Amino acid sequence: MYGRNRGYVPYRGGGIPGMTPMVQRIIFANCIVWAAQLLSRMVGIPLTELGAVRVDGFLHLQLWQPFTYMWLHAPDNPLHLLFNMWFLWMVAPELEMTWGSRRFLRFYVICGVGAGLFILAWNSLFGAWDVPTVGASGAIYGVITAFTLLNPDRMIMLLIPPMPIRAIWLVPLLFLMQFLLGGGERVSYTGHLGGVLVAAFMLRTELRRVLGWRTLSNRWHRMRMRNRLRAVRRDELERRRNDDQNRPTYH
pLDDT in tens, 8-59: 444 444 445 568 999 999 999 999 999 999 999 999 999 999 999 999 999 9
How far is it between the farthest Cα atoms of the chain? 97
pTM confidence score: 0.79
pLDDT on residue 32: 97
CATH topology of domain 21-202: Rhomboid-like fold (1.20.1540)
Report helix, strand or coil for 60. Answer: coil
Rounded distance, CA 165 to CA 153, Å? Answer: 9
pLDDT in tens, 101-132: 999 999 999 999 999 999 999 999 998 899 99
Q: What is the DSSP letter of 160?
A: S
> How many other β-carbons are positioned within 10 Å of the β-carbon of residue 110?
17
Rounded distance, CA 39 to CA 64, Å? Answer: 21
Residues in the chain: 251
pLDDT in tens, 144-180: 999 999 998 888 887 767 788 888 889 988 888 887 7
pLDDT in tens, 193-206: 999 999 999 999 88
CB 27 within 8 A of CB 21: no
Domain boundaries, the chain: 21-202
Q: Of 94, 85, 83, 79, which is closest to residue 25 (Cα–Cα)?
A: 85
CA 207 to chain centre: 15
